[in-house]
Amino acid sequence: MSGRSEDEDHRTFMKLALAEAEAALEAGEFPVGCVIVGAGKVVASGQRSNTSGVINELDHAEMVALRRLLAGGFSGAMGEVTVYATMEPCLMCYATLLVNGVRRFVYAYEDAMGGGTSLPLEKLPPLYRDLRPLVVGGILREPSLALFKRFFSSPSCHYLSDTFLARYTLAQGEGEGGPAATTARSHTP
């Protein structure tokens, strides 16, 4: 590509995912944003919706982005795209993206309560057990954490309030990097 490091690319695209998360927060929604990148450009994006009023657990940012990608007739290779999410994908999103062929995941803030990326694929049936997805965490963790702190500090935001995730988030210090800071792993046993 341009010769920039992979880490710089990760930060560039995560900034775009953070913009989606900020837009969600401005709309009173849980601040998760996602962009899907293929061949060096954004091919779909999404933000979390329906976390206020009638709540559902389908419109996660990654699911919104994936639906848009597929509805748009994406013809690239799913195995070549990278999903950038401002929070670690939950089990639903991680599994759905895997089943749809995605093998590269980058996230900002760890989901200490509901993150799904440590799913032990090797213990599952043949469709899954040989998959070796790349998972990179902690890219621009601090600005993502700041959005979640704003959300959980707001008296008008009730989604997931008084949960492990809310307490964990509000207990995080500034600039400490956190347990998932810039870690890369694949699911090799």
Q: Measured on CA atoms in the order 133, 128, 63, 51, is the torsion positive or negative?
A: negative
Give strand pairing partners of 37: 42, 82
Out of 10, 60, 103, 141, which residue is the one contacting Zn ion (CB under 5 A)? 60
* Shortest Å distance, C-beta 2 to Zn ion: 31
Task: Give the gyration radius of the chain's Cα atoms.
Answer: 16
Of residues 44, 2, 50, 11, the one with CA closest to residue 27? 50
Residue 13 in 3-state DSSP? helix
Interface with Zn ion includes 160 (CB under 5 A)?
no
The footprint of Zn ion on this chain (CB under 5 A) covers a number of residues equal to 3
* Shortest Å distance, C-beta 93 to Zn ion: 3
Interface with Zn ion includes 64 (CB under 5 A)?
no
Interface with Zn ion includes 83 (CB under 5 A)?
no
Query: Of residues 8, 20, 57, 62, which has the active-site annotation?
Result: 62
Give strand pairing partners of 90: 115
| Cα atoms in the 13 Å half-sphere on the side-chain side of 95 | 12
Of the pair 9, 46, the CB lying nearest Zn ion is at 46
Interface with Zn ion includes 48 (CB under 5 A)?
no
Q: How many Cβ atoms from other residues are within 10 Å of residue 129's Cβ?
A: 12
Out of 87, 93, 121, 157, which residue is the one contacting Zn ion (CB under 5 A)? 93
What six digits make up the tokens of 73?
């007739």
Q: Letter for the amino acid at 178?
A: G
Interface with Zn ion includes 90 (CB under 5 A)?
yes
Stretch of 6-14, 54-62, 144-152, 173-181 lying at the interface with Zn ion (CB under 5 A)? 54-62
Stretch of 13-21, 38-46, 82-90, 154-162 lying at the interface with Zn ion (CB under 5 A)? 82-90
* Shortest Å distance, C-beta 59 to Zn ion: 9
* Shortest Å distance, C-beta 65 to Zn ion: 11
Catalytic residue at 22?
A: no
Strand arrangement, sheet containing 82-87: 41-47, 33-38, 82-87, 104-109, 134-137, 183-186
Binding site for Zn ion (CB under 5 A): 60, 90, 93
